Amino acid sequence: MDIDALNAEFGIAGILSFTQGRGALPMIEVDNGQARALISVYAGQVLAYQPSSATDDLLFVSERAYFAPSRGIKGGIPVCWPWFGPDPENQGRGGHGFARTLPWTVHACESRPDGSTLIRLGLADDEITRAVWPYFFNLWLEIRVGTTLALALTTRNSGDAPFRITQGLHAYFKVGDATQVRVEGLDGCDYIDKSVGGADAVIRQAGPVTVVGEVNRIYEQVPAQLCIEDPLLARRIRIDTEHSRTCVVWNPWIETARAMDDLDDADYRRFICVETVNTASEVIEIPSKGAYRLAAEYRVEPYP
């Protein structure tokens, strides 16, 4: 992608510009007075967001993250699509689909009347996608950077046959120490424990979610609002969702972090993932010419 051409067509003087980032990947930098943000056009991935009232970034990105074609970037908010987790058909395709490892197209960048900035990115089927997933689609991601960060992922089925998807906004939240945070809002929800060997165990959550070992859970029938309480960074992160009744909470803990080349051994303490998803029993069928919208809004508040 030509950075000069992107700036000429979509740049907003003093607010939004395109730059060449790590791995020579094109990035969108936003600084609109309400917040600063960094978005990778490759993967359609928000990598940083910091409201002007905050002292820390909302998001975590690993120092060892890959910034290279066909590799996922560890951190920020990856878009998992058209499947979440392992290949659902066991065909050897990569985990979490292909949207997070392809370049997206910039369709619009604009300043909103309320002072926020809206970015619209898109991904459409081509020979590469149809070779691994034989459907016709248009995928749109709207990112609004303001006093809150809002993402809306819309899938449109442009083909003649229905298709089924699972998907997710795989948010990595920066925390002071994962062992001291609490995820509120999931009390009483059943979850599938993916960290247990063999058959998945189904357990009912009692109280807030805390991290005292590996956490890899799919919660079902979850409420539309969740909250991460982080006493060390003295903040709450509120998560408001639309059209998602499943949520994944993930922290790799010590051994899994050590086994990942794109995580530092101590990174498990630096983040927790609370992911807005459609997965497990929540499989979405989209009819021909139909559409489905998954959305999340993130707000930083003082704590306590």
Q: Which residues are catalytic?
A: 170, 275
Greatest pairwise CA separation for the chain in angstroms:
55
273 contacts 249 by C-beta, under 8 angstroms: yes
Q: Which of 86, 88, 167 is nearest to 123 (CA)?
A: 167
Whole-Å CA distances, 173 to 42, 82, 193, 233: 20, 23, 21, 12
Return the percent helix, strand and coil in the chain, to nearest 5.
10, 45, 45
102, two tokens? 């392809």
Q: Which residues pair with 296 in a beta bridge?
A: 151, 241
66 contacts 47 by C-beta, under 8 angstroms: no
As a whole number of angstroms, the distance between CA 227 and CA 13 comes to 35
Helices (H) and strands (E) in the chain, counts: 3, 22
Whole-Å CA distances, 275 to 126, 157, 202, 228: 28, 24, 19, 12
As a whole number of angstroms, the distance between CA 17 and CA 63 comes to 23
151, two tokens? 């993402």
* Dihedral sign for Cα atoms in the order 83, 87, 93, 96: positive
Q: Which of 273, 241, 277, 244 is nearest to 79 (CA)?
A: 277
Q: Where are the beta strands (DSSP E) in 52-126?
A: 79-80, 105-111, 117-124
Residue 127 parent element (H or E): helix 127-132
